Amino acid sequence: MMPVLILSASALVILLLFTSVRCIHQLRRGSLLAASRSGVISLVILSLVTVAVLAGMNILTYQRLRFEQSVALLSFKQLGPQSYQAMVQATGRQLAYAFPVSGDEWQMDARVVIWKPLANLFGLDALFRLERFSGRYHDVTQARSQLPTVHDMHDKEQVDFIALLKRFPAGVDVQFGSSAYMPMADNARYELRLTQTGLIVRPDNLAAHKAVDHWAP
């Protein structure tokens, strides 16, 4: 759809330039009637160009809202009842984290920065910083009686873009915390992804799909 709109808008712009130049030339020659016809045609083409541009912007906005970026790949090995070894591979980084985690479910927390619509339209996607990885007990009573397993995911050696954005807030729409959690299972693998509205998780193998299908209500 977008290539068609771009080609159509380009053709209309070229035609608009041609009719505008022709209108000016006719005015200089004193041909008012011919210049009026060219002017009307130019206005019609300009209207069509405006419609094509607005339609393209709407489609781009929709595509940007649907855009997802990979954040991390998580895999689990069961060590015992409600006991797992988690491997967290952050996207684009060689370093993988290995965490012992207790519970029935895992949870990842992140800080998210969303840009204003215009900045987002021109390709500035949501920024994120992973902050905590933890285990969750499905049973509320057990969750109240046992401390959760919590691991810090914030790499202090990396540039803190959150602090930088506070100094240059122009273009930032909102900052918020986002969490995602899923059931743990032996050999389960998940992909953590970030959309323009927060974190989402997709099961990445059969073990993860089965775990989600049998997730306790």
Query: Is there a single domain that holds both residue 151 and residue 83?
Result: yes
Mean pLDDT of 141-163: 78
Query: Is there a single domain that holds both residue 88 and residue 119?
Result: yes
Overall domain count for the chain: 2
Strands (E) across 145-197 are located at 150-152, 172-183, 189-195
Q: Per residue in 53-97, pLDDT tens?
A: 555 544 444 444 456 788 899 999 999 999 999 999 988 777 788
Query: Is there a single domain that holds both residue 189 and residue 86?
Result: yes
Query: Is there a single domain that holds both residue 61 and residue 86?
Result: no
Q: Is the pLDDT of residue 23 over 90?
A: no
Instruction: Give the pLDDT of residue 39.
Output: 65
Mean pLDDT of 163-173: 61
Query: Is there a single domain that holds both residue 54 and residue 122?
Result: no
Q: Is the pLDDT of residue 147 over 60?
A: yes
Q: For the stretch 5-44, what's the b/e string if a residue is b when 16 or more beta carbons lie within 10 angstroms of its beta carbon?
A: beebbeebeeebeebbebbeebeeeeeeeebeebbebbee
Q: At residue 210, what are phi and psi to the nearest 5 degrees?
A: -65, -40
Q: Is the pLDDT of residue 6 over 60?
A: no
Q: Per residue in 101-135, pLDDT tens?
A: 999 999 999 888 777 766 655 666 677 888 899 99
Last residue of a domain, one of 36, 65, 94: 65
Range from 12-16, 124-128, 179-183, 197-201 that averages highest in pLDDT = 179-183
Q: Is the pLDDT of residue 35 over 50?
A: yes
Query: Is there a single domain that holds both residue 29 and residue 77?
Result: no
Last residue of a domain, one of 48, 65, 82: 65
Query: Is there a single domain that holds both residue 192 and residue 129?
Result: yes
Mean pLDDT of 30-55: 67
Q: What residues make up the domain containing 56?
A: 2-65
CA distances from 186 to 83, 132, 201 (A): 10, 22, 17
Query: Is there a single domain that holds both residue 163 and residue 83?
Result: yes
Query: Is there a single domain that holds both residue 130 and residue 37?
Result: no
Q: What is the chain's mean pLDDT, rounded?
A: 77
Last residue of a domain, one of 10, 33, 65: 65
pTM of the predicted model, to two decimals?
Answer: 0.65
CA distances from 79 to 5, 16, 138 (A): 55, 70, 18
Query: Is there a single domain that holds both residue 40 and residue 86?
Result: no
Query: Is there a single domain that holds both residue 35 and residue 92?
Result: no
Query: Is there a single domain that holds both residue 48 and residue 131?
Result: no
